[in-house]
């Protein structure tokens, strides 16, 4: 029985050795036919020539990509000159549409008609109109709402693009102006 085991063991070791020769596995390195870091193969003894990219070249490449990405971001983020005026007009028109369709707080047909009705109603609704327009518009915009009886909002600066719209009401026209901060 023990002779048989020895023979079986020899046969299986021989089979494993044959497989290793065919696959190039040496059992010592985990790499196919290579030993250590020299790049020499065990079977042929020849040195393999492998190129390596230096770390400074990799860092320089990453730096160039990063600089290009930042430059492209600044270049692409700038809007065309005519686009800001159209966008501001759209913001003003949207704010006018919202206010023109809101129900009044105390009377009249719409909120804008209420503030345009009389100086007393304008004074009563001034702060509520200011808060409402401030909530309607994005944070990067300032505004002025001009009624026949007064103005709500901020003074208009000179030399900046301004978007405007006029909303007709039964008590007179209300002009809404918006501009970037």
Q: How far, rounded to the nearest angstrom, does the alpha carbon of residue 106 sit from its chain's CA centroid?
A: 43
Whether residues 92 and 4 fall in one domain: no
pLDDT of residue 85: 79
Whether residues 132 and 87 fall in one domain: yes
Residue pointed to by tokens 């492998």? 50
pLDDT of residue 3: 57
Whether residues 103 and 150 fall in one domain: yes
Whether residues 164 and 90 fall in one domain: yes
Tell me which of 13 and 75 has the higher pLDDT.
75
| Cα distances (Å, whole numbers) of residue 113 to 74, 137, 151, 167, 176 | 44, 20, 14, 10, 14
Asked if 102 contacts 136 with a C-beta cutoff of 8 angstroms, the reply is no
> Does residue 166 lie in a domain region?
yes
pLDDT of residue 18: 60
> Does residue 56 lie in a domain region?
no
Grade residue 15 by pLDDT with cuts at 50, 70 and 90: low
Residue pointed to by tokens 């209300």? 174
> Does residue 109 lie in a domain region?
yes
> Does residue 64 lie in a domain region?
no
Whether residues 25 and 85 fall in one domain: no
> Does residue 9 lie in a domain region?
yes
> Does residue 62 lie in a domain region?
no
Range of the domain at 153: 81-180
> Does residue 129 lie in a domain region?
yes
* Overall domain count for the chain: 2
Whether residues 96 and 35 fall in one domain: no
CA distance 149 to 54: 74
CA distance 13 to 88: 83
Asked if 10 contacts 17 with a C-beta cutoff of 8 angstroms, the reply is no
pLDDT score of 56 more than 60: yes
Asked if 177 contacts 88 with a C-beta cutoff of 8 angstroms, the reply is no
Mean pLDDT of 79-93: 79
> Does residue 96 lie in a domain region?
yes
Whether residues 42 and 119 fall in one domain: no
Whether residues 102 and 41 fall in one domain: no
In SS3 terms, the chain reads as: CHHHHHHHHHHHHHHHHHHHHHHCCCCCCCCCCECCCCCEECCCCCECCCCCCCHHHHHHHHHHHHHHHHHHHHHHHCCCHHHHHHHHHHHHHHHHHHHHHCCCCCCCCCHHHHHCCCHHHHHHHHHHHHHHHHHHCCCCEEEEEEECCEEEECCCCCCCCCEEEEEEECCEEEEEEEEEC
Grade residue 95 by pLDDT with cuts at 50, 70 and 90: very high
Whether residues 99 and 160 fall in one domain: yes
Q: What is the CATH number of the domain that holds 102?
A: 3.30.450
Whether residues 95 and 34 fall in one domain: no
Mean pLDDT of 77-95: 79
pLDDT (tens digit per residue) in 128-169: 999 999 999 999 999 999 999 999 999 999 989 999 999 999
Whether residues 32 and 97 fall in one domain: no
pLDDT of residue 79: 57
Share of the chain above pLDDT 90, in %: 40
Whether residues 94 and 26 fall in one domain: no
């Amino acid at each position: 029985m023990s002779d048989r085991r020895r023979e079986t063991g020899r046969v299986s070791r021989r089979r494993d050795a044959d497989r290793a020769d065919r696959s190039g596995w040496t059992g010592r390195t985990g790499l196919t036919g290579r030993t250590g870091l020299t790049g020499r193969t065990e079977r042929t003894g020849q040195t393999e020539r492998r190129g390596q990219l230096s770390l400074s070249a990799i860092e320089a490449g990453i730096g160039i990509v990063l600089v290009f990405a930042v430059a492209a971001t600044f270049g692409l983020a700038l809007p065309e000159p005519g686009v800001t005026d159209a966008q501001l007009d759209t913001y003003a028109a949207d704010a006018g549409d919202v206010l023109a369709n809101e129900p009044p707080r105390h009377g009249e047909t719409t909120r804008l008609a209420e503030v345009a009705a009389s100086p007393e109603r304008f004074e009563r609704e001034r702060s509520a109109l200011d808060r409402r327009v401030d909530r309607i518009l994005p944070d990067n915009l300032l505004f002025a709402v001009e009624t026949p009886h007064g103005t709500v909002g901020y003074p208009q600066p000179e030399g900046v693009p301004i978007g405007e719209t006029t909303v007709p009401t039964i008590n007179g026209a209300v002009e809404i102006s918006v501009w970037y901060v």
